[in-house]
């Protein structure tokens, strides 16, 4: 969802987010959405330290700022791209690359794909 991390927090930041934020601040002419997200982070981390802007959220807000300020799109075109879900493809692509990486590692280590034990999986069935 863009906010929260199991391990990372304000005192233990995600280096990927730091790199992305620094790049956006240095290279994008407008950081309106990033600034807003960082303001939200200030509110959420007062509730719980790990409710930080995570890497997915950081990529998303910076991508919107880039679309809106790069000069290739009008504001209306950039907003339409976002509304139509063009960012969803980026996150599916990232997850796909990660899955492929896991697969290649397991092949290299001569291990099969991880399968969670069937007896530990609960299914909710309507038995009535």
Q: How many residues does the chain have?
A: 128
Angle between helices 75-83 and 86-108 (to 10 degrees): 50
Percent of the chain with pLDDT over 70: 94
Q: How confident is the model at residue 97, as a pLDDT?
A: 87
- Mean pLDDT, all residues of the chain: 89
Tell which wins on pLDDT, 23 or 10: 23
Q: Specify the range with the lowest mean pLDDT, choosing from 64-73, 97-106, 116-125.
A: 116-125
Is residue 123 scored above 80 in pLDDT?
Answer: no
9-22 pLDDT tens trace:
989 999 999 999 99
Q: Residues 92-96: what's their mean pLDDT? A: 82
Residue 103 has pLDDT above 70, yes or no: yes
Q: Find the mean pLDDT for residues 81-86.
A: 91
Comparing 119 with 38, the larger pLDDT belongs to 38
> Cα(107)–Cα(101) distance, rounded to whole angstroms?
10
How much is the pTM?
0.73
**Cβ contacts of 95 within 8 Å, gap of 6 or more:** none
């Amino acid at each position: 969802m863009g906010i929260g991390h199991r391990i990372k927090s304000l005192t233990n930041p995600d280096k990927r987010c730091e790199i992305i934020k620094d790049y956006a601040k240095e290279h994008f002419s407008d950081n309106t959405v990033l600034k807003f997200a960082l303001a939200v982070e200030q509110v959420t981390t007062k509730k719980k330290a790990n409710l930080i802007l995570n890497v997915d959220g950081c990529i998303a807000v910076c991508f919107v700022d880039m679309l809106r300020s790069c000069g290739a799109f009008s504001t209306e075109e950039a907003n339409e791209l976002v509304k139509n879900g063009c960012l969803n493809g980026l996150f599916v692509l990232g997850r796909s690359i990660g899955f492929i990486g896991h697969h290649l590692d397991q092949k290299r280590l001569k291990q099969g794909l991880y399968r969670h034990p069937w007896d530990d999986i609960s299914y909710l069935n309507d038995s009535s």
